[in-house]
Structure 1
């Protein structure tokens, strides 16, 4: 096998000698090391690389995951993980970049387009296109088979600063599924609601008629998580007024980029829903609760949850109660509207992995990460390793094992799968890996319940120039923060009609029109590139 030899500086060599007594068989991350250009292991002498990664709430340190233990055994590359809880990751990542206190790489990096261009230009993260070409045969193969993925990860300046993540499952058209307690419906002799008015009456019954039978008024008719990506009322309420919302508050209508949160339908939806809050039909913690609090509400000793928004019924209420709930179809609003928003973006994402200027072994790092773009490895990264989530059948396909009793697939996956890196193409399902039962069900639900009412347009994954990103990043954070605060305030306390004109003026002052113009230009360029 071919090898390349890096030169150790005197300083690094001295440091290595000092540490040698306790770590003689492992090179530290600030040494340039020999590596194998092909085959495994990647290095003959174990090397350590420092990586920062966000982690799910139930995830252990990544070194405790079977997936990474096996990867280390095969590659001889040890990762010094700094796992940061997902809800605090972006802030800590930004502090590291601002203070120039960098690891060798960010894994599951979550770098925005602005991050990529800013820190690519400054040199904090390095271009990857040559490393991909020379040291990433698995990823290269994927980019050849799906050139559109290469387009997504190529920056306007022509460089590739980050690696992609993609699973062609078509399950992300909308994340907002509403589940309702059908056992309570039957007990109270109620039908599945089809309109907002009917749903309102159901919520009143849930509140007042003691459907759990414990003699207490402890039922929660409706709970959600305000502006959370799988738990908001963006479709449930706003869609019933013909203006489905999303976390961007941005969509496309008849080819024009618009802000959902400045439309009259948005105002009417807020005014309508506030009435439900005043009646006590809505869990007031919906505006403040975190994931743990939210998921716990479906697992109380007495059943207390009447309906909720989450893209998997079972994950909220647990496997023992899942059969007591069913998905509620999109509801018709007072004006006859019944629309489901189509999620912005693409199945292909950039920003998943970056290598920093501190990395002395980018070739080793690229070879290590490329192992995870091999389809079998990518499947295990997304959903879990062989022996815990999967076993191989007689055709070599990864098929699902039974998960431990008393847990849900979503919870179990957090513990065993990083779910950060890889590409699974549509043709890999049924050949390399069996589609997860939850995903099969979600596709079925999308097709039967949501797609017939889904908006045709969305804002795609576009690339903005550095100058455009500078402007958007000056305007959009303040704009979104203001919108989200007013949305929550009006939903809880009312006042949207009285404050609406002042609110629209404030949006313009922050820079709404300038931002929309940039997004429109980006959309037009995207359309032109697809011809």
Structure 2
């Protein structure tokens, strides 16, 4: 495993040298990258705890993911404050949320991508590596003292190893969390549970029993009707349930899963864990506990069923609970209450994913390294996305305007500003009117900062999540260019087939007695060929990186 430099002094010393270099962090040794003519606007004393301020005005283009709930405005205080503090003006290329991934791919493919590409989830960079269109950011970590310090302090080296490609480098700068963060779960009508004398479910079997009790009391409908299926059917529910069964589905699906007993990857969709998971999900539908439309309906339809009292459980995160459910439900159903369930345990244990310590982050265009202000750009990114001060700015805004601060981590939102229901009815909104706490910037950071906007209810939920065991990270298996081409021929058709058949099994459209025939069909789709590529890549990477 690569040893990342942890002291800001390393970056400072290099910057002071007459011929500036950055060193790669790949497992094959260090590679000098000349940066002596790329220091326009850069600071010579930039380090952890130092406010980055460019020595002359700079402008950087940025791909901006525009969320419909808080569409971008040119006069946001966010833009003004970034420029005032850093001397940098960001020029957003605005792309709607619904088209973001496709537009980003088109821009990269045409060579017209902005320098900074926000809202990039780890794994989304992989298709662009072989073309040389994006920057191997691990070559330049010496320019990012805040990033390095967090990786070292929070023990994130294993998580970064997951990002490395076959060349030993990684190409995305992820958001970094101090601790795992499990936000998504199921929200449930707690008033109904209290009326029926039901305890908080500890396992998914307990959860099924809760739904059974609700069904017995309200037999005409479905106790649960779910959302988050517009891009991936059952995206959240299948993801969180399968995780606790020791496999992958929904948002977290991947074609291979690690089998520690075999010390190798096996086909996800035919594993014993996957069959057990599918069998459980099928039981929910078969017993009339889960609305079959959960896998096809849009979010608005699912939310409408829940807030009108037609269903009693629905997938949720903290923002959905406050913004989508609680108010409308209380308006429509007298005495109704709703809360997030602590994530139930499954056969794999009382677990959450270790991968939640890594968040979406940014890609950088390879063209950035040719600019004379490249060093300053990397310093700026390090400060805005990874320093405590930069993270505080993009999350909370400006002290005295959008918030006040009583002590370390004790924030209070300004009385005339609302965010996640902290000041309901306030005339201004932190995201809509000021641009702060948006998804292009406000990810990662210390647990104290992350939880600084949490209600007492959410703090209690997160305290329960931190009691859970962490699933071990699966070994990385980065493909070579040739392997990637071969894998691409199999990956998508295989995933599509497994997803389609999984839904048929869950919905009862295909009998689980046909599982063996299904396994043969998956194999015929190239699962064995794909596994061979995966295991060879995993073994090669392990041998080369310790």
Partner of 2:132: 123
Q: CA deviation at 1:287?
A: 0.9
> Aligned match of 1:98 in 102, 106, 109?
109
Gaps of 5+ in 1: 4-31, 212-216
Q: CA deviation at 1:58?
A: 1.9
Partner of 1:182: 190
Q: CA deviation at 1:496?
A: 3.8
Partner of 2:236: 231
C-alpha contact 2:207 2:344 (8 A) present in aligned 1: no
2:411 is the counterpart of 1:391: no
Describe the SS at the equivalent of 1:393.
Answer: strand
Partner of 1:83: 94
Q: CA deviation at 1:71?
A: 0.5
Partner of 2:394: 381
Partner of 2:382: 370
Q: TM-score, normalised by structure 1?
A: 0.72
2:454 is the counterpart of 1:443: no
Describe the SS at the equivalent of 1:318.
Answer: helix
C-alpha contact 1:235 1:341 (8 A) present in aligned 2: no
Partner of 1:514: 529
Q: 1:368 to 1:197 in 2, by over 3 A?
A: closer
Gaps of 5+ in 2: 1-14, 17-37, 45-50, 331-335
2:430 is the counterpart of 1:418: no
2:315 is the counterpart of 1:303: no
Q: CA deviation at 1:297?
A: 4.7
Partner of 1:29: none
RMSD: 4.5
2:317 is the counterpart of 1:314: no
Partner of 2:7: none
Describe the SS at the equivalent of 1:314.
Answer: helix
Between the two proteins, the alignment pairs up a number of residues equal to 476
Counterpart Cα distance in 2 of 1:129 and 1:408:
39
Describe the SS at the equivalent of 2:520.
Answer: helix
Q: 1:267 to 1:348 in 2, by over 3 A?
A: closer
> Aligned match of 1:284 in 292, 297, 303?
292
Partner of 1:112: 123
> Aligned match of 2:367 in 352, 357, 372?
357
Q: CA deviation at 1:495?
A: 0.8
2:258 is the counterpart of 1:252: yes
Q: CA deviation at 1:223?
A: 2.4
C-alpha contact 1:49 1:79 (8 A) present in aligned 2: yes
C-alpha contact 1:342 1:457 (8 A) present in aligned 2: no
Q: 1:402 to 1:477 in 2, by over 3 A?
A: farther
Describe the SS at the equivalent of 2:266.
Answer: strand
2:377 is the counterpart of 1:330: no
Q: 1:475 to 1:305 in 2, by over 3 A?
A: same
| Deviation string, structure 1 residues 160-200 (Cα, Å, up to 9, x no partner) | 5432321112224xx55233323113334555556767655
Q: CA deviation at 1:354?
A: 0.9
| Deviation string, structure 1 residues 103-137 (Cα, Å, up to 9, x no partner) | 23312334636x45x64443322444665535x44
C-alpha contact 1:105 1:354 (8 A) present in aligned 2: yes
Q: 1:368 to 1:239 in 2, by over 3 A?
A: closer
Describe the SS at the equivalent of 2:236.
Answer: coil
C-alpha contact 2:245 2:348 (8 A) present in aligned 1: yes
Counterpart Cα distance in 1 of 2:522 and 2:131:
32
Q: TM-score, normalised by structure 2?
A: 0.70
Counterpart Cα distance in 1 of 2:348 and 2:160:
37
Counterpart Cα distance in 2 of 1:391 and 1:518:
54
| Deviation string, structure 1 residues 11-38 (Cα, Å, up to 9, x no partner) | xxxxxxxxxxxxxxxxxxxxx9953545
| Deviation string, structure 1 residues 64-99 (Cα, Å, up to 9, x no partner) | 543333112223322221232334321121122233
